[in-house]
Amino acid sequence: MSTTLLIVQILNGLQLGVLLFLIAAGLTLVFGVMDFINLAHGVQYMLGAYLAVAFYGLTGSFFAALVLALAAALVFGLLLEVLVFRHLYGRDHLDHVIATFGIILFLNSAVKLVWGAAPLSLPVPEALSGSVALAPGLLYPVWRLVIIGSGLAVALLLYVLVSRTRIGMLVRAGATNAEMVGALGVDIRRLFSLVFGFGAMLAGFAGIMIAPILSVEPGMGDTILILAFVVIVIGGIGSIRGAFVAALLIGLVDTLGRSFSVDILRLFMASSTARTVGPALASMLIYLLMAVVLYVRPTGLFPAKGR
Amino acid sequence: MKAPSASPSAPVTSPPRSRLRSLALPALLFVALAILPLAALAASAGYVLDLFTRVMIFSVAALSVDLLIGYAALVTFGQAAFVGIGAYAVGILSSHGITDALVALPVAMTAAGLFALLTGIVCLRTKGVYFIMITLAFGQMAFFTASSLAPYGGDDGLTLADRNTLAGLALFGRPLVFYYVVLAVLIASYALCRSLVASRFGRVLRGTKENALRMTTLGFRVYRFQLVAYVIAGMLSGLAGFLLANATEFVSPAYMSWQRSGELIIMVLLGGIGTLHGAIVGAAAFLLLEEWLAGFTEHWKMIFGPLLVLVVVFVRGGLIGIAAALGRAVARRFGRG
């Protein structure tokens, strides 16, 4: 376990954390404002990645693909809201779960039909490919740094949007009491659509940014969705600050756990046992963390006010 | 603790006539399942027997989900984990040469029950959406743990050398015998759930579904009742897992995937939530629909997904609800109120 490896893994953990935040932010906003559980949030992330690949194929430029895919993700999110979700606000959470589960089945299958089941890939933009030496002997891929940077920038932007603008004020008010906001003359439906579209775009953005380092395949959104759930549950549903803290926490714990569990266990037990137990323990780690947090604070670290 | 005297919201006992009627549909279901093999054998369609064995196994798991969602308002999104644990108990024991059901069955149910107890202690401290998500997360935990069990096949799963024996007799190996064993288990599980729901325990659970705060104020320790229900449901699902491992002679982490948990909820919703026999109808409808649609195209989920959305948006009460509404309409038509 060298220092270099530790730093690299910490950066990897940050990168996963930032990615999780991009997804969890939309999820927690949609839940906070409209009391709606959107399981289909994960497929919106997947769709972002696929759209980026498709638009890259058409334009040959990553940045054009980024802009087009973001716009398409936004449009698609709004379309889903109008077609399906709008009819389910105020219904039982169970109805949300089943309807959005149906959308997952549909989209995972549709993606397979359109692009095939084989994994696709997207090249890293030329200017940002390669690695940079952070310290002597410590090389790190530039693209991963870009992901970390853009994720932090989005977090900052969200913070400013939510706490310093009129729209943000309405979003916060909506999270506390949507009906009252409606009664005060705000077009609550438009606010809902806006929040929803924005959340979908954030998930799409995460998908686009990760596409150059992960393989783009059907079902890629499902795993990350569960992690995003763990994040918003730990952070406190409806709280963006909570989502940010929990996302980084989960990203770091998961990454470091996976890289070092065997080495750490080897200090206590035979190395063959450590090799068997380590990976199993590492994959359970974040869920155990969640269990501990929820046991102590059943509504998460930063429970949103008013619920 | 004191029992509430005649609560107005939940009828404590039904009048005998409607009680008889409420048992008619489940009885009809079981009779149909009992004579189905005869028809299948006459048409010499062995795969029908396998298909319906599957239907009945998933019915047992769906029953446990209905017990939690339909009667205790505990929306569990990790029930497949218990099915998987039951199945893995069979697989792991079998890989160590222990192949008798007299050992495997208790181990499967105890392991699932223990996992339910440990996770339930944490899950039940939370409510509503938190409960949905935390059960989902524990389900995933079980899934990833199974995937990393390298000695037992890891991602690829584990093939059983053979089905379990029962007290040394290779009874499960015969499809027809196994079919009736599964049917017997299903009927027993149904009877258990039905009597649970009708008991004082079940009435307390239904009370918490209506209003947990009210039940707490009445002096019930709601948490304990819910925990017991959660453990019972976990064990039932473990039982289903035991049967599933024997039916497929294969065990894999895929049994625990969160999609499976979602499918179990869909089965219950499709059949009609909070009715118990709806879970059986729903499991049959789901699996038969899957079989039928998959016959047309490998992209059958593109049809099934939107169908699900439509069912949620427009249909209340599932297939049982539709049947009841139709029945009422017909009755009105012919002037028998």
What ipTM score was computed for the predicted complex, to two decimals? 0.83
Mean of pLDDT over chain B: 85
Query: Which residue range(s) make up the domain with A253?
Result: 3-296
Mean pLDDT of B79-99: 92
> Hey, is the C-beta of A283 within 8 angstroms of any chain B C-beta?
yes
Query: In this structure, is residue B304 part of a structural domain?
Result: no
pLDDT in tens, A235-252: 988 888 899 999 999 999
What gap in Å lies between CA B223 and CA B105, rounded to an integer?
28
Query: In this structure, is residue B19 part of a structural domain?
Result: no
For CA atoms A66, A72, A78, A84, give the dihedral sign: negative
Largest interatomic CA distance in chain B: 67
Element (H, E) at B251: strand B250-251
Query: In this structure, is residue A168 part of a structural domain?
Result: yes
Query: In this structure, is residue B9 part of a structural domain?
Result: no
Please report, to the nearest 10 degrees, the dihedral formed by the alpha carbons of residues B209, B213, B219, B220 taken in order: 30
Beta strands in B30-165 (DSSP E): 158-159
> Hey, is the C-beta of B25 within 8 angstroms of any chain A C-beta?
no
User: Which residues in chain B have Cβ-Cβ distances shorter than 8 Å to A31?
Assistant: 129
Q: Looking at the partner chain, which of A93, A110, A112 has a beta carbon nearest the beta carbon of B75?
A: A93
Domain count along chain B: 1
Query: In this structure, is residue B197 part of a structural domain?
Result: yes
What gap in Å lies between CA B119 and CA B138, rounded to an integer?
7
Query: In this structure, is residue A46 part of a structural domain?
Result: yes
User: Which residues in chain B have Cβ-Cβ distances shorter than 8 Å to A109?
Assistant: 299-302, 305
User: Which residues in chain A have Cβ-Cβ distances shorter than 8 Å to B258?
Assistant: 222, 226
Query: In this structure, is residue A57 part of a structural domain?
Result: yes
pLDDT in tens, B226-269: 999 999 999 999 999 999 999 998 999 999 998 899 999 999 98
User: Which residues in chain A have Cβ-Cβ distances shorter than 8 Å to B126?
Assistant: 294, 298-299
Query: In this structure, is residue A303 part of a structural domain?
Result: no
For residue B8, the Cα-to-chain-centroid distance in whole angstroms is: 30
Residue B215 banded pLDDT, cuts 50, 70, 90: confident
Contact A237 B130 (CB under 8 A): yes
Query: In this structure, is residue B218 part of a structural domain?
Result: yes
- pLDDT of A231 above 90: yes
Side chain identity, residue B3: A
pLDDT at B335: 65
> Hey, is the C-beta of B192 within 8 angstroms of any chain A C-beta?
no
Mean pLDDT of A214-234: 89
Q: Helix axis angle, A142-164 relative to A166-183, nearest 10°?
A: 50
Contact B137 A233 (CB under 8 A): yes
Query: In this structure, is residue A302 part of a structural domain?
Result: no
Q: What is the 3-state secondary structure (H, E, C) of A162-212?
A: HHHCHHHHHHHHHHHHHHHHHHCCCCHHHHHHHHHHHHHHHHHHHHHHHCC
Share of chain A above pLDDT 70, in %: 98
User: Which residues in chain A have Cβ-Cβ distances shorter than 8 Å to B128?
Assistant: 93
Domain count along chain A: 1
User: Which residues in chain A have Cβ-Cβ distances shorter than 8 Å to B305?
Assistant: 102-107, 109
- CB distance B162 to B249 below 8 Å: yes
What chain B residue is nearest to A99 in terms of C-alpha separation? Answer: B309
What chain A residue is nearest to B152 in terms of C-alpha separation? Answer: A276
Query: In this structure, is residue A106 part of a structural domain?
Result: yes
Query: Which residue range(s) make up the domain with B193?
Result: 52-294
> Hey, is the C-beta of A107 within 8 angstroms of any chain B C-beta?
yes
Q: Looking at the partner chain, which of B75, B137, B145 has a beta carbon nearest the beta carbon of A226?
A: B137
pLDDT at B44: 63
CATH number, residue A94: 1.10.3470
Bridge partners, A140 (sequence order): A132
Mean pLDDT of B208-229: 89
> Hey, is the C-beta of A290 within 8 angstroms of any chain B C-beta?
yes
- Residue of higher predicted confidence among A34 and B240: B240
- Tokens for A79? 């379309």
User: Reduced to 3 states, what is the DSSP secondary structure of residue B165?
Assistant: strand
What chain B residue is nearest to A293 in terms of C-alpha separation? Answer: B122
pLDDT at B11: 45
Other beta carbons within 10 angstroms of residue B36's beta carbon come to: 17
Query: In this structure, is residue A152 part of a structural domain?
Result: yes
Interface test with A, best of B141, B268, B314 (most A CBs within 10 A): B141
Query: In this structure, is residue A65 part of a structural domain?
Result: yes
